């Protein structure tokens, strides 16, 4: 089965504002879809709908297999060293420590393994969240502004991780208000839906 995520005619209402309606999309293995558009057009809401954290006002959301999510909160315990904070999620995802090692190398975080999460910068925290996503082994990635605060080198690592994930049969739904330079990317302009 190559289909990982399917949204059928979904509508989303936040507060009393209709963000979008009749939106359909499918994400197959190897796909990447960029949700673009200005702030407040529903990029994050669409990601949360896809993740199952929000219920659509109408329409259907079907997910196959596990998903990994990045949103504005890093969900890493601030008082722990980075490595231990990531190990917690590795235990929750029941993946072994080597996957975390490899993912930390991919995002160049190995030198920061012993630094408490509270001391990390915004960009470093986003990289740490990426490590969790990569290490989770989930085929569907939902990334909400994953590159916020990242420098150019970190962005290049993110793009490389997305490419590697797609090559391995994963799919990526990416919300970002600026272009990340991911090659071969489908686009959905949320600004045009409103």
Partner 1 sequence: MTALIALFWRDLRRAWGSGALWLPVLFFLLVATAFPFAVGPDAPLLRRAGGGMVWVAALLAALLPIDRLVRPDKDAGVLDQLAVRGFADEVIAAVKIAAHAIGFGLPLMIALFPASALLAQDAGRVELLATGIAIAIPALASLAVLSAALTANHKGGSAIGGLLVLPLAVPMLIFGAGMLDPSGRGAMKLLAATSLLLTVIGPFAAGSALRGLRE
Please pick, from the candidates 1, 15, 79, 167, the single residue that binds partner 1 as defined by CB under 8 A: 79
Helix (H, G, I), strand (E, B) or coil at 128: helix
Integer angstrom CA distances of residue 8 from 22, 23, 49, 72, 132:
8, 7, 12, 26, 29
> Does 93 participate in binding partner 1 (rule CB under 8 A)?
yes
> Does 141 participate in binding partner 1 (rule CB under 8 A)?
no
Please pick, from the candidates 18, 22, 53, 168, the single residue that binds partner 1 as defined by CB under 8 A: 53
Which among 172, 151, 190 has a CA at the least distance from the CA of 69? 172
Two tokens at 146?
A: 């994953």
Nearer to partner 1 among residue 31 and residue 144 (C-beta): 144
Residues 2-41 that bind partner 1 (CB under 8 A): none
Smallest distance, Å, CB 136 to partner 1? 8
Angle, CA of 193, 141 and 2, to the nearest 5°:
90
Binding site for partner 1 (CB under 8 A): 51-55, 66-69, 71-79, 88-89, 91-94
């Amino acid at each position: 089965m190559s289909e990982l995520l399917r949204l059928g005619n979904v509508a989303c209402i936040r507060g009393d504002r209709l963000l979008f309606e009749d939106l359909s999309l499918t994400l197959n293995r190897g796909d990447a879809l960029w949700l673009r558009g200005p702030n407040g057009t529903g990029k994050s809401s669409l990601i949360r709908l896809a993740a199952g954290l929000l219920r659509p006002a109408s329409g259907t959301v079907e997910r196959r297999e596990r998903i990994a999510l990045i949103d504005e909160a890093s969900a890493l315990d601030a008082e722990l060293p980075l490595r231990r904070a990531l190990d917690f999620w590795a235990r929750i995802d029941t993946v072994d420590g080597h996957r975390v090692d490899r993912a930390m190398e991919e995002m160049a975080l190995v030198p920061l393994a012993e630094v408490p999460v509270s001391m990390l910068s915004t960009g470093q925290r986003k990289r740490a969240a990426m490590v969790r996503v990569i290490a989770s082994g989930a085929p569907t990635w939902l990334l909400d502004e994953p590159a916020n605060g990242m420098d150019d080198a970190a962005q290049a690592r993110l793009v490389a991780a997305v490419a590697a994930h797609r090559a391995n049969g994963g799919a990526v739904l990416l919300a970002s208000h600026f272009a990340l330079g991911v090659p071969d990317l489908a686009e959905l302009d949320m600004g045009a839906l409103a």
